[in-house]
Amino acid sequence: MTQGLGSGSIPSGRRYLDLLMTALVGVAVLLALIPLVLIVADVIIQGAPAINLSFLTNSPTPVNIPGGGIGPAIEGTSVMVGIATLISVPIGVGAGIFFSEWPESRLSTISSFTNDVLAEFPSIVIGIFVYVLIVLATHSFSAIAGAIALSVIMVPIVARTTEESLKIVPNTLREASMALGISRWKTVIRIVISTGKNGLATGILLAVARAAGETAPLLLTALGSTFFLTGLFQPTAALPLLIYTYATSPYQVWHEQAWGAALILVAFMLVLNLTVKLVIGRKFSEMRAEI
Amino acid sequence: MSFRLKGDSLLKSTVAAAALAVVAMVIALGYEIYSGSGLSISRFGFSFLPGTVWDPVHEIFGALPFLYGTILTSILALLFGLPISLGVAIFLSEKAKGQKTFKYVIGTLVELLAAVPSVIYGLWGLFFLSPLLRQYVENPLHAYLGFVPLFSGTPFGLDFFTAGVILATMIIPTVSAVSRDILNAVPNSQREAMYSLGATNWEVIRRTVLPYARSGIFGATILGLGRAVGETMAVTMVIGNTPRITASLFSGGYTLSAVIANEFTEASSPLYLSALVEIGLVLFIVALTINVFARFLVWRLTRGTRMRV
């Protein structure tokens, strides 16, 4: 950025300091990225040997019996994240529409601020909340309790991204639609939401990715299990719970399986995030750039 | 006409109900946790927070060792994480102008770091980072500076120090993303004025951009602090889980969130359970205070510009 000045006009001490700081900034970027590279590499190297079809479909076995798998954990995570999505998407999208289309309302300000705070809540606190609310009341750890805990985590993410993607829909579109005599609710649903739908999809996918990896709240609500589901009101297995339990166990065999399960989880996470970034996100940001 | 008005108010009240549900959820959350800790509050009162003994067998519960561990690990996280985050933010906002694709890739990678689940950090911390730190950082520090209380004790790898490093990695995406947005919100006229006076890039950053963004960066830091305070799984897996108050960074410890994760489902008596819920209440209040404060700082600065966390 010193173009036009001719770097010779700047005393060398200052120039060296500038170079030094640029180098330090570069080092900071490297230090920030090294963990990501190491984690992904480590998970692939240690996890890949464990993966095969029966590992993905079998039930866990006791330590001394080979052939244990993560089938119930995959099933439990899918079911709980699925139910949580069904609960959180209507609430999150609704709240997001309200924040974006009625920003002048006082409820909008309060709720939007609350939403931001909820998004940063320690997830374990949400686990305690659902434990007191559901587990104590039903006297059992369950898939339902786990799903409700996950939905509390998903709502603020969906609401925030919905708001953001609707806010960037130009007002001229709303005005044009209303000028044609189309009512406000139809304008919101047919014009605003359909224009911002990529952003909405982004938010939902990110929330699903986040929920699938959550461990702490499930520890207090779903508990974990080694069996496939036979109902929604019993302790339920989940992929992150299994990783935690196996990793902190003293057995080498379980450590290997924990890495295998971690590879599945990380792969799911990366695919979802990169899909959002590269496919939907790009269209989304192109749309933003056009505006 | 009346149909149209009905449709409008129906939509408005439906989505308003969803917005209300968000507020209701947070209120219910606070209430349930407060009522769940009632037994412990009435039994220990104000002696719960400064209490240093955590003895489930004799049902004596004090929160101080956990509070200490949470504060210590969060300070370590900021100490290690903040300089790196600021570097990343400066890079994304002030350096490599014109190299959009390169910066997009770096930005995406840093964001991906935020998408890695906490339990994966824990797994990696337990089997990779902890032995590495013990051998190459903790042992040398202990050998040469062992007389300093901070570095005393026998380095074991599962301790405050490792927890601090893991937490630092986990808060970097948050702090750098928010700081980048804050730096981007600094008006270009500020930079141009400095350049026209003949300043170097670093002088512009040091004397104009950073001072202008100071309170926003402070907000980003506090937001990172909130993350560190609430983080559970990764910390639980590397901190050693022993309720201890000691100056040594190489000693096993415990945090508020870790004790909940570890002991909640094993709590055998109503009082034990209630004490753990009260730990959750403490965590709730600390996290709420930190977040509201941080949001306020960041909101004030980026109002009008978009912010992504």
Of B11, B97, B122, the CB nearest to A247: B122
B252 belongs to a structural domain: yes
Interface touch A28/B126, C-beta < 8 Å: no
A181 belongs to a structural domain: yes
Of B35, B121, B203, the CB nearest to A14: B203
Model pLDDT, residue B306:
44
Is the predicted pLDDT of residue A11 greater than 60, yes or no? yes
Structure confidence by residue, pLDDT tens digits, B78-125 = 999 999 999 999 999 998 777 888 888 898 898 899 999 999 999 999
Chain A residue numbers with beta carbons less than 8 Å from the beta carbon of B23 are 107, 110-111, 114
Chain B residue numbers with beta carbons less than 8 Å from the beta carbon of A42 are 124, 127-128
Chain A residue numbers with beta carbons less than 8 Å from the beta carbon of B237 are 244, 247-248
B240 belongs to a structural domain: yes
Of A10, A36, A212, the CB nearest to B113: A36
A24 belongs to a structural domain: no
Which range of A143-152, A191-200, B145-154, B181-190 scores highest in mean pLDDT? It is: A143-152
B11 belongs to a structural domain: no
Q: How many structural domains does chain A have?
A: 1
What's the DSSP call for residue A223?
Answer: B
Element (H, E) at A63: none
> Tokens 């007002």 label which residue?
A171
What's the DSSP call for residue B157?
Answer: S
Minimum distance, in Å, between the CA of residue A65 and any CA atom of chain B: 23
Interface touch A25/B25, C-beta < 8 Å: no
Chain B residue numbers with beta carbons less than 8 Å from the beta carbon of A27 are 87
Query: In chain B, whose CA is at the least distance from the CA of A242?
Result: B119
pLDDT (average), residues B3-24: 90
Longest dimension (CA), chain A: 77
Of A21, A129, A259, the CB nearest to B33: A129
B155: domain CATH number is 1.10.3720.10
B146 belongs to a structural domain: yes
Confidence of residue B216 (pLDDT cuts 50, 70, 90): confident
Single-letter code of the amino acid located at A59? S
DSSP string, B22-73: HHHHHHHHHHHHHHHTHHHHHHHGGGTTT---EETTTTEE--HHHHHHHHHH
Model pLDDT, residue A1:
46
> Tokens 């089997």 label which residue?
B127
Q: In terms of DSSP H, where are the helices of chain B?
A: 2-36, 38-44, 64-94, 100-115, 118-124, 130-133, 139-145, 160-184, 188-196, 201-204, 210-230, 233-238, 256-263, 270-302
Interface touch A125/B280, C-beta < 8 Å: yes
Q: How many structural domains does chain B have?
A: 1
Cβ–Cβ < 8 Å for B76, B170: no
Cβ–Cβ < 8 Å for B290, B215: no
A260: domain CATH number is 1.10.3720.10
**Distances from the Cα of B54 to the Cα of B36, B59, B242, B251, angstroms:** 19, 8, 10, 17
Q: Provide the domain limits for residue B247.
A: 37-302
Chain B residue numbers with beta carbons less than 8 Å from the beta carbon of A121 are 29, 230, 284, 287-288, 291
Is the predicted pLDDT of residue A56 greater than 80, yes or no? yes
A147 belongs to a structural domain: yes
Interface touch B202/A159, C-beta < 8 Å: no
Confidence of residue B139 (pLDDT cuts 50, 70, 90): very high
What's the token pair of residue B139? 């042992």
Interface touch B198/A155, C-beta < 8 Å: no
Chain B residue numbers with beta carbons less than 8 Å from the beta carbon of A17 are 200, 202
Cβ–Cβ < 8 Å for A266, A43: yes
Query: In chain B, whose CA is at the least distance from the CA of A11?
Result: B200
pLDDT (average), residues A179-203: 90
Of residues B240, B237, B272, the one with CA closest to residue B65: B240
Cβ–Cβ < 8 Å for B279, B69: no
Is the pTM of the predicted complex or chain greater than 0.90? Answer: yes
| Nearest-angstrom CA–CA distance, B190 and B93 | 14
Q: Provide the domain limits for residue A207.
A: 73-290
